[in-house]
Each structure stands twice: as structure tokens, then as C-alpha cells.
A and B are shown apart, each in its own frame.
Chain A
């Protein structure tokens, strides 16, 4: 586990840190993906939006928010919200294991970039996927909202859902959900 983590962060460090020039260019150039597990399903996220991977722990719950917002963590002095991806996709919540970790990703927000944590059951590895091996998302059948899917990558002979983190963790949407959650509890 630890080895994967180091490998993942190492691969990230090796990536040239430059401004993302645009979605098209990003799609063409970006070939490295981090794969991770939610339950038995494998997902992938483009490595350019990943900042780091940290151990799960010391999470503070925020009351009056929807369940998929697990809470907040202290990331070197910054307070970062943490989202449970499984719950966001409408899957069952699972108990934390030793392999549970938080992937810190950077997403677009109204006021510049916003860091967010994503709870995953386990991270696997960083893979190179050539653009030719990525298929368009299916209209249905993936059991998650199709706008969350950037593409279907062929990894090891199997299709893996490549997530569009900017859609999955769209700040406005998550925030609206947070507020709605707060309103609901108020009525009760």
C-alpha cells in the first residue's frame, strides 16, 4: 500500500507542473491516470488534477450536510472538504479499512481552484492510457450520472470509468447540496 502511494505521488511529482492550457489540449496530452477502487469497482482520475494522496484520518464531521460530505480535514493549515465518492454515486457506504485513503484533487470553482478530498477504498497505480484506448461514455449502464464520466478507458483488457472530477465535485452543486441538507434538518 505504502509503495503504491509513493509511486503515485512520485509519478505526480515527475509530471511537469504547468498551467492547464485548455480542455482539448489536456485531453490530448494527458495520458496518465490514477486508478482506485470503490468497493469492487475500479475508477480512474487524470493525474493532472491530483495534488496528493494522504492517509485517512482526523476527519471532522460537519453537521447538517448531506451524507456524501464526510467532513473536513486539516491539510497543512488549510481546511479541505472531503467527499465520499461511493455515496456521491449512490452506492452503499462502507466501513473504513486500512487501505482507505483520501485523494486530494483540485477542481475549478467560482473563485479560482479549490482543493477537495475524495475518500476512496484503495488506490491502485498510475497508468498510461493512450488516447486511442479511450472510448466515449455509454448512454446508460455505468450506474453513475453520465456527465460524471469523461470516457471509458481500456485498462488491462477491461473498461474503467474515467471520472471528470470537475463535474463530480462541481463546487456549486456540492454547495447547493450542502445547503439543502441544512434546510432539511432544520424542518425536522
Chain B
């Protein structure tokens, strides 16, 4: 086993556990009685301590041990968890996180870290009560020790005796007796150790991978029995471990001697050598043992009963622990950790497969062989399914990201002295993992901003007739191919006047500029803008909001603000579901092909010459009584008329070369017999079918609740498509969000509808502004 790998696993696990611990801590604050949550916290601390011990990370073990002891008190119901304790434990969590980071970086804890450790330990120790026989003895351990030693007759030694007989598979299971013994050394002192070599076979029969050794250890420690037992937690199943507390009864040693396979005398000697028993005590013990064998009223029996009085608790705890471990395993077994790189490679391949399948379908259509068509259809359906399932592999629920904000909200509201509650909804909304990773920072900024600037102080809230505690909502939902994340507060809202003043002062706008409400709100995303005069600890330095917008736009997303003064502000982030593959709608403009994300397409209508005339040269049409502005792609993109081929046959698909086009049309016409054509020619209503006219179509697209039209020549139908990033050269071009490769091998552009609209609207407003400036000048 490579230790580096194991350490890596430990680090990943520790981070996950800390996350769970934090989550549980925040939950337990609301419901301090919830045993499951408390157990979860304890389990996390305990597992971290256990694994850290395996790697010899003493500082982590020591630190966690104290925390665990306090948690044990909580678990036993001896201590009530309150918000003060939660604060300490959150700090403990953070500190453990620091430890883990240092382990990752290969550093040992520095002075500052040690200082925090000491501080936290001293805070925690207060809960452990006055030290009894050393700092770490818990209240639970004390009576237990008394119980075991009360009835007099105890031996003089004041150290524990541990008897270890490991199973033969110990080494094969990746355990090392030496590390276990060293681990014991982390919370006590090994007084004496005797190694038993009786079971080691002759050299010829010896299996180097088996463990044959046994140990008798005299161990001086203030730790309680459970702690010592926990050292052997991982080997307990196949080893015989007996732990006798200090001052145990002679009878118990006797039982130990009885239990173990070694000859009585020898074991007795070993105990003496360990310093656990004196020679006199041993003699006494052996004599009593001899007597007891004759005697029916077996004193050892009594000891056993007594022992049972002590044991059930210990056994129960052990069973409990085992059960928890099993539960954890069951939950984990349903999941496999996969290298993200492998997954990306897999998804890329599926992307290629999608393209290849689209190409195959295209060829099948050209041959018009029904069997081939059917096969191609079946294939593309399967590929589509494979693609969908592959994409879900990358999907994670946004809940985990949202839950992190419990802590942020808690800490920030404490810092600000405001009472703010976080309400989360839509936590089960799925989102691409890469998006989730990158959305954390902008979201944090928005949340902090809402808390700092949005939600007012309690007095002001009461004066405005709102509840004293502010509410922050995080919500997520799917909307037409994108995911929407909302950060909403019930605070003061954005003051448009203040924004305008500030923007004027910063020179972002001019005096006579007239802005729509939405535009005013968007000013806060401009670099260097901040409405808050005083620089606070959290936000308000004027950096940030522009970074937020940039980060979101880098993910092909947008952010918009919906704010009502004195009622609240909602920040709405809209992001694409995945960065890899989309369902596209292929359209043709002259010779060029473009892809519109299918989720945005609402419908397609014909743009008749009549309608063009009705609009009097303006770019909008009447869509069932609604005004629909449209964009003429041909003009915007300045696409030249396609070469001669288009004149020959208007219906020819320019995407193919002319030879293919002929074939394509040939097959199309072959569907129509000469008789049929004649019949069509006679029917005045159907006659037009024989003379397809060049017509324009409007693809109606919807984005963020707004509709607009794209005027194109041809509608070429649905098309699954892999998004190829624009790359460094084309990054930042408004109106294009990526490339894709068509089945024919040609590259097509994926349209960014919002960018297009922004571009056209921006161009128009600039033109209008120029026009009005001229008017003023005149």
C-alpha cells in the first residue's frame, strides 16, 4: 500500500468529514436534542482522530481527542450543546481544516497554529470539568474505573495492563503492531512491554506475511478505557485484546491468565516482568486460583458477574460503533469515486460519438434506404440516451453549495450584529460540476453583499414594519435549458437615486443621461462602483460586483437585479446547465449554418412579404397580436448571397456541395410520381408545392421572459451538438457562444441569443442617442 495514496485518501475524507461536521453543527444549533446529529458530529471527530493516528499525526490526534471528549459528554447527555459550544466547535472544525491544509502542503504546524490549538483546547477543557488524575479523564471514565476497582483486593500497580494477541492476518490487512503500540504512546507511557514469541513456528513453516507475535504491555495513562480500546478499533475483529484498568482485582488477572493459551506459570511471570503484578501478588493469585478450582462457590464467577456489570456499556458502545461504521459503508458503497479527468475524457468521446452519429444519419437520409434509416434512427436514439446519462454523471445537486452558506450567513450576521435567517429552497436542482465549482465565489459575494448592504439594522426594520430578523433566501430552479439561482433579501432594496449620484460622481454616466430602472441597477456591476461610503469589513470596497459579473459571464451566464426600494432585492443568476453539449436547432442563412440552442426556440413562423411590407421597414412583426422585434441575421452578420448554386434551385441545401444537393433533391423528387406531379399541377391550392419559393422564416426565441425573432432562410431541424469553446482568439465576441461541428464536417456557429439582442439593442440605443444629441445641438 502506497502511503502517499492512503494519505491522499485521508485528506479527502477528512475534508468531507469536516464539511459534514460543520453542517451538523449548524443543524444542531436549531435542534440541540437531535441525537443523530450529535452522533454525526462525534463520528466525524472520532474518525478523523482515528485515521490521523494511523498516519502518526500526533498533533491532530491530541487536538481532536479533547474535542471528542467534550462531544462524548454531549452525546451522553451530560452536557447540553448551546450556541456558545457550537461556536467553539466551528472554530475546532476550521482549525482541523487548517491542519489538513498543512498536511497537504507537507508543513508541520507553525507557532500560530499551535497557539490556536492551545487556546481551543483550553476552551474545551473548561467543559471537561476540573481535572481528575490528569487533564483528559472524562467524567464518564471516572466512575467506571471506580467500579472496577472498588471491592478492594486490588493490586498495587497504578497502570493499565494490555494483553494483545493479534490474528495471523494482521499484516495482510495493512495493520502494523508497531504503529499501534506507537499510537498508544501518544496518550500515555508504555511502562513495560513483553513480546511473546511462543507461536512463531520454525523458519521453514514461517509465513512472512503472517503475524505470530503477542504482547503484554504495562501502560500508564490517564486516558479512559474507551480511548485505549479505540486504539485497537481496526484490529479488534480478529485479535484478542484484554485491557485491565489500574488497580484491578487479582481475580481479573487470574481470568486473563486463564483465558490465554500460554501456560499459566509463564504468563504469570510475564505479568511480573511487565511490572503489572509483583511476585507476591502473583503467588497469592495462583494460590487463590488453585483454591477456587476446588471450591464450588467460584469467586471468579462473581468477578465475571461484576465484570458483566461493567461490560454491557462497553459492549454496547462497541456494537454501536460497529453499526455506525457499517451504516457509513452502506452509504458509501453506492458511490464510486472517479477521477474527474477520466470523466471529462469520457464525455468528450461521447461528444465525438454524437457528431459521428449525426453524420451517419445524414448519410442514411441521403441514401433513402428504409432499413438504413431505421438503423440510423435507432442508433441516434441510443446515442442520445447515452449522452444524456453521461451528462448526468457530471451533475451534482446544488444543495451542498447552498448549505455552505449556512455558515457564511451565521458568521457574517454575528459580525454585523444583525439577526439574519437563511432559507434554502430548490437544493435538489442539478447542475454541472464545473459550474458548481465556479459559482461558489460569486455567490458568496452576493450573499455577503445582501447581508451587509441589503438587510437593514433591526431598529430600522421595525420602523419600516418588517420583522426584526432579516431573511435571506437562496433558491434554484431550472428554466428553459438553464439553471436560475436566486439570492433574495427582504432588505432596503437598491436606492436608485444614490446609485445615480454615485455613478455621476464616478463619471460612469453623464448628467443628462436618461436610464431605465434596470440599467440603473446594473450600474452596480460597473468596475469601481460602490454605494457604500464607509468601507466595511465585508464588502463595499467597490471591487467585487464587477468581478461577480465577470465570473458569471465566463460561465456563459448572466446576472440581473430585481429590486424594490424598502421591500428587498433579488439577484438572479442564470447559468447554462452544462458546458459540454446542447440540443441545437440548425438554421441556414444563405450558405452559412447557425445553431440556436433548442431550449430557447419557442416556435417558427413564416415571414411573408406581406408582413415585411406591413412593418414599414421596421424590424418587428405582429405575432398573434403581440409585437415581436426581430433580428435579420443576414444583415447583422453581413452574409453575402450564396454563390450560383442557390439560383439553380432555391430548395438546395447549401450546406452540402452541389453534387450532394442534386442527389438529395433527386431522392426527394423520386417520392413524387409523374402522375402525382400532374395531379398537383391541376390543383390550384397545392400547385405551389411544385414551385417552392424562396421564403424567409422567423425563429421565435425566448430568453429570460423576453421574446424576439431571428430571421433566417432555412430551418434545418433539431441537431444534437457538442459545444467547442470559442478559444482565446474569439473569446468575447458578442452574439456567438461557441462552435460546433456538423455531421458534414463543417464548422457551424452557435448563436448566443442574448448577446445578439444586446448587440442589436445597444447599436440602436447608440444610434438613438446620437440622433437626440444632434437634435439638442440644433
Contact = CB atoms under 8 A, between A and B. Distances in A.
The answer to whether A and B interact is yes
A35 B759 CA distance: 42
Contact of A63 (B355, B639, B745, B747): B639
Interface in B294-308: none
Contact of A187 (B636, B724, B749, B763): B763
Interface in A169-188: 171-172, 174-175, 178-179, 182, 185-188
A81 B739 CA distance: 11
Interface string A56-77: 0010111111000101111001
A79 interface: yes
B730 interface: yes
Contacts of A114: 727-729
Nearest to B738: A79
B733 A182 contact: yes
B728 A109 contact: yes
A61 B592 contact: yes
Contact of B746 (A60, A63, A81, A110): A60
A77 B352 contact: yes
A74 B729 contact: no
Interface in B722-759: 724, 727-736, 739, 741, 745-749, 759
Contacts of A74: 741, 745-747
A188 B636 CA distance: 10
A12 B617 CA distance: 57
A175 B730 CA distance: 6
A111 interface: yes
Contacts of B763: 186-188
B732 A185 contact: no
B638 interface: yes
Contacts of A71: 747
A110 B728 CA distance: 8
B766 interface: yes
Contact of B741 (A77, A175, A178): A77
B774 interface: no
B636 A63 contact: yes
A136 B174 CA distance: 67
Contacts of A69: 729
A64 B741 contact: no
Contact of B638 (A171, A175, A185, A187): A185
Contacts of A171: 728-729
A116 B727 CA distance: 11
B638 A63 contact: yes
Given A74-B746, A79-B741, A175 B729 contact: yes
Nearest to A59: B747
A64 B739 contact: no
Given A64-B637, A74-B745, A77-B741, A111 B729 contact: no
A61 B634 CA distance: 13
Nearest to B741: A74
Contacts of B724: 78-79
B762 interface: yes
B759 A178 contact: no
Interface string B626-670: 000000000011110000000000000000000000000000000
A142 B729 CA distance: 27
A79 B727 contact: yes
A182 B745 contact: no
A64 B735 contact: yes
A187 B747 contact: no
Interface in A103-117: 109-111, 114, 116
Contacts of A63: 636-639, 735-736, 749
Nearest to B739: A79
A71 B731 CA distance: 14
Nearest to B730: A178
A73 B741 CA distance: 9
A179 B732 contact: yes
Given A77-B352, A186-B759, A186-B762, A64 B748 contact: no
Contacts of A182: 732-735
Interface string B761-778: 011001000000000000
Interface in A32-71: 58, 60-65, 69, 71
A53 to B, nearest CB: 19
Interface in A143-188: 171-172, 174-175, 178-179, 182, 185-188
A146 to B, nearest CB: 24
Contact of B739 (A72, A178, A186, A187): A72
B730 A65 contact: yes
Nearest to B355: A77
B637 to A, nearest CB: 4
- Among the interface residues B636, B732, B733, B745, which one has the most CB atoms of the partner chain A within 10 A? B733
Contacts of A116: 729
A62 B736 contact: yes
Nearest to B594: A63
Contacts of A78: 724
Nearest to B758: A186
Nearest to B744: A58
A175 to B, nearest CB: 5
B749 A62 contact: yes
Contacts of A79: 724, 727, 739, 741, 747
B617 to A, nearest CB: 17
B773 to A, nearest CB: 14
Contacts of B745: 58, 74
B733 A60 contact: no
Contacts of B727: 79, 81, 114
Contacts of B749: 60, 62-63
Contacts of A65: 730, 733
Nearest to B724: A79
B748 A175 contact: no
A64 B733 contact: yes
Nearest to B763: A186
- Among the interface residues B739, B747, B749, B762, which one has the most CB atoms of the partner chain A within 10 A? B747
Nearest to B640: A61
Interface in B55-77: none
Nearest to B722: A77
A81 B729 contact: yes
B595 to A, nearest CB: 12
Contacts of B732: 175, 178-179, 182
Interface string B76-112: 0000000000000000000000000000000000000
A119 to B, nearest CB: 15
Contacts of A111: 728
A172 B352 CA distance: 29
A62 B636 CA distance: 12
A93 to B, nearest CB: 14
Interface string B396-414: 0000000000000000000
Contacts of A109: 728
A71 to B, nearest CB: 8
A175 B728 contact: yes
A174 B729 CA distance: 6
Contact of A81 (B592, B730, B736): B730
Interface string B317-357: 00000000000000000000000000000000000100100
- Among the interface residues B727, B731, B762, which one has the most CB atoms of the partner chain A within 10 A? B727
Contact of B747 (A64, A72, A175, A178): A72
5 tightest CB-CB pairs across the interface, nearest first? A63-B637, A60-B747, A79-B739, A79-B724, A182-B733
Given A74-B745, A186-B762, 20 more contacts: A58-B745, A60-B746, A60-B749, A63-B749, A72-B739, A72-B747, A74-B747, A77-B355, A79-B724, A79-B727, A79-B747, A81-B727, A81-B730, A110-B728, A175-B729, A175-B730, A178-B729, A179-B732, A186-B734, A188-B763
27 contacts: A58-B745, A58-B747, A60-B739, A61-B639, A62-B733, A63-B636, A63-B637, A63-B639, A63-B736, A63-B749, A64-B734, A69-B729, A71-B747, A72-B747, A74-B745, A74-B746, A77-B355, A79-B727, A81-B729, A114-B729, A172-B728, A175-B729, A175-B730, A175-B731, A179-B732, A182-B733, A188-B763
